[in-house]
Amino acid sequence: MNPVLNVAGLQYDFSRHAVALPPLLERAQQLGFDAKRHALFSGGIVNATESRAANHVHLRSTQVFAERCGMARFGTQARQQREAAYAAAGAVVRRFKHIIHVGIGGSYAGPLAVYRALALQHVPFVDVHFLANPDLLSIAQATRQCDPQHTLLVLCSKSFTTEEIVFNARHVLAWMREHGVADPIAAGQVLAITARPDRAAEIGLQPAQVLAFDETIGGRYSLWSACGFPLMCAFGQRVFDELLAGAHAADQVYLGAPPAENAAFVAGALSWHYRAHEQLAVAAVLLYGDVFSAFGAHVQQVVMESLGKQVTLSGGACTAPGPYMVVETGPAVQHTFMQMLRQGALKTPVEIVTYDDGGAQPYIARADTQAQALHEGGVAPGEAHAQAHRVVPGGHGVTRVRLPDA
């Protein structure tokens, strides 16, 4: 295996793992990996517990690619839904100054993570305030930053029945009414994003106030659907198209590259090895840079929502479910739990991610130093005869990921 693999501009360095790849390749072949990845792209029932496909990859693919995968109809539907969302976003930017986006789970964590990252690089056309937990203090903080006459309430829920969303919506609507918006729905200041437009209609929303997405889109992947609407409003169609294009480029590598040259496969196979064979129950992702400040919950949901279950697809006991993910940003993380990673007894596979903005960021070298120390070990600088509590034992498997820019 080439220890350094590239995916759509991302560089994955797997050289700090003492794991042989051939047994993992053999195991993947036994499990039918190739057929399963093609099923994901061709609309196969990969979500067996709900008897559904998982079509999120075609929310970000081209129509030509969707047709090649036998998904022309879904590709057309996804494009039409995205065009409707872009049109609605244009109207929002012309009328509103603020969006209060109410979601939870995937309809909250993914959009929030990307919004925080992009807001460090672009001035938003509208300010977006995210609510998830039913917390009156958070609602008060969001609303006091907004002008009620120029605020759009976005209700983002696949089922449109989630208790937390209903609570937050009720209180934001009450705030609007208290500040002179007698009927926010009739005034066009409420918009729903849902896989159940019929339920949105039940509260009085007109078709023009509803953006739909398909039932085959899992919550943790809904960022790529109309649930990305706050990003479309805040940063425009060009930026959102670039986001989709980057994800699609990574999808193409995953679908087409042989497993040994496939960074996504290798990363997943290593994760499986550490959990199933070395019984390591915890994995860490260390994201260097404030552009990643809100990615923790999103990464945790993507990995743990399904992989953490105690049963297999066939219903039997799963003795090694997915790992518990610890995700934090650096370099600040070096002063919190990373002390345990460096000097503790708990072996933990680690992924360290940085982005390169032309060499100005001071922490890339620090990230490289941490990767080396976690894998190779050593002692503190200047401590040739260190006391035991100063020793860094090493032995962690470390993947180093580099983004070309933010």
pTM: 0.93
Q: Are 224 and 247 in contact (CB under 8 A)?
A: yes
222 vs 334: CA distance, rounded Å: 32
With a cut of 50, list the residues of the chain below it in pLDDT: none
If residue 151 lies in a helix (H) or strand (E), which one and from where to where?
A: strand 151-156
The per-residue pLDDT for 380 is: 60
The per-residue pLDDT for 24 is: 97
**What is the three-class DSSP state of 11?**
strand
Q: pLDDT tens digit string along 193-220? A: 999 999 999 999 999 999 999 999 988 9
* H helical segments located in 69-191: 72-95, 106-119, 136-143, 163-178
Q: pLDDT tens digit string along 304-322? A: 998 988 988 888 999 889 9
Q: Are 233 and 125 in contact (CB under 8 A)?
A: yes
The per-residue pLDDT for 211 is: 97
Q: pLDDT tens digit string along 175-198? A: 999 999 999 999 999 999 999 999
Q: pLDDT tens digit string along 111-141? A: 999 999 999 999 999 999 999 999 999 999 9
Which residues, including other chains, have CB under 8 Å from residue 70's CB and lie 6 or more apart? Answer: 42, 43
Q: Where in the chain is the domain with CATH 3.40.50.10490?
A: 4-41+257-403, 56-243
The per-residue pLDDT for 261 is: 96
The per-residue pLDDT for 98 is: 98
- CATH for 4-41+257-403 (3.40.50.970, 3.40.50.10490, 3.40.50.300, 3.30.70.3270): 3.40.50.10490
Q: Are 136 and 175 in contact (CB under 8 A)?
A: no
282-288 vs 324-330, strand pairing mode: parallel
The values of phi and psi at residue 394, to 5°, are 75, -160
CB atoms within 10 A of CB 279: 10
Instruction: For 56-243, give the CATH class.
Output: alpha beta
